[in-house]
Amino acid sequence: MLHKVSLEQVFVLDIETVPCVGCHDELNDMLQLLWEHKCHALRREKGWHSSAADVEPLPDHLHATSLFEQAGIYAEFGKVVCISVGCFFFDKQEERWRFRVKSFADHDEKAMLREFAALLARKPNYLLCAHNGKEFDFPYLGRRLLINGLQLPPQLDVAGKKPWEINHLDTMELWKFGDRKSYTSLALLAAMFGIPTPKDDITGADVARVYYTDNDLPRIVHYCQKDIITTARLLQKFRGEEPFGDEAVMYADELSAVMRRV
C-alpha cells in the first residue's frame, strides 16, 4: 500500500509545543480554574483519587502549578512554537532521493500558523505524515488554527470526511499493524531500524524549559528538524527502501528559497 504513495507528494512534519504562558500564575483567573479541573483528571491518571484528598495532603508534584509543566501537550492550554516540514525530491541527475527541510518558528504563533497554512493550501493534494500525528500533531494544529481565528488548510479540514478520505500518514500507526494498545516512540523505532536517533540533545520534555528559561528557539528548531528527518527515513524503511543520507538533506532559510519549488 505504501508503494502506491508518491513520496514527492508527502509533507513530513513535526511540531514543538509549550505551555501558553511561562508559569501557572500567569494564567488569567478563568484559565486557572479550568486548568484545576483538568488537573483532576491528571491526578486520577497518576493514581491519586479525589477521596484521598480528604485525609492526605496533595503531593507537591500533583499541585496545579507543578502539573502546568505538562500544559503544552494540550491545545487548550499550550501553543505551537515550531513546525518543521520536509518533502522528498528525486534528483534525476544523481538518481537518488533528496529531502528538503523548512521550519516555521516564531514567538507569534498566529503569524507562524498563517504562513504554514498557506503552504498547505498551495498543495491541497499533498499528504501529511508524522509520527503519532493522528493523535497529536494533526489535531493540535487544527485546534490552534481555529483558536487563532485562521482557516483550516485542506489537509486539516477533516470534519465529515470518511477515514479513507483523510490524507494523513502516521508512522506509529503503520507500525501498530492494527494493535490498538501499542505505543512505540520514534527513538525506539530509529534504533530498531539503524537510523540515527533524533534525541541526542533534548527531548520533548525539555522543550518548555529551553523555550521559557533558556530562550533558545533555534535549539528547538534543530531538534524538530531532526525528528522529521528521522520520520522520513522511517517511512522509507517501511517501504523497503534505503533511507537518504545526511548529504541529501537540504535546509531552507526562507520559504521562497526552497518550498516554492516543491
Domain co-membership, 33 together with 133: no
- Percent of the chain exceeding pLDDT 90 equals 70
What integer pLDDT is reported at residue 49 of this predicted model?
60
Domain boundary among 39, 59, 76: 76
Q: What are the tens digits of pLDDT across the range 42-68? A: 888 777 665 545 446 666 567 788 889
Domain co-membership, 105 together with 232: yes
Domain co-membership, 170 together with 42: no
What is the C-alpha to C-alpha distance for residues 96 and 154, in angstroms, rounded to an integer?
A: 30
Structural domain for 46, as ranges: 23-76
pLDDT bracket for residue 41 (50, 70, 90): confident
Domain co-membership, 63 together with 170: no
Looking at the DSSP bridge assignments, the partners of residue 89 are 98
Q: What are the tens digits of pLDDT across the range 154-211? A: 999 999 888 878 889 999 999 999 887 778 999 999 999 999 887 778 888 899 999 9
Domain co-membership, 98 together with 224: yes
**Higher per-residue pLDDT: 162 or 77:** 77
Q: Is the pLDDT of residue 5 over 80?
A: yes
Nearest to 106 by CA among 114, 96, 118: 114
What is the C-alpha to C-alpha distance for residues 224 and 210, in angstroms, rounded to an integer?
A: 13
Domain boundary among 76, 101, 120: 76
Domain co-membership, 93 together with 66: no
CB 2 within 8 A of CB 238: yes
Domain count, the chain: 2
Residues contacting residue 155 through CB under 8 Å, at least 6 positions apart: 11, 120, 124, 126, 127, 128, 167, 168
Question: In CATH, what number is assigned to the domain containing residue 184?
Answer: 3.30.420.10
- Percent of the chain exceeding pLDDT 70 equals 90
DSSP conformation letters of 167-210: -EEEHHHHHHTT-TT----HHHHHHHTTPPPS-SS--GGGHHHH
Residue 254 burial (10 A CB sphere; 0-12, 13-18, 19+) = exposed
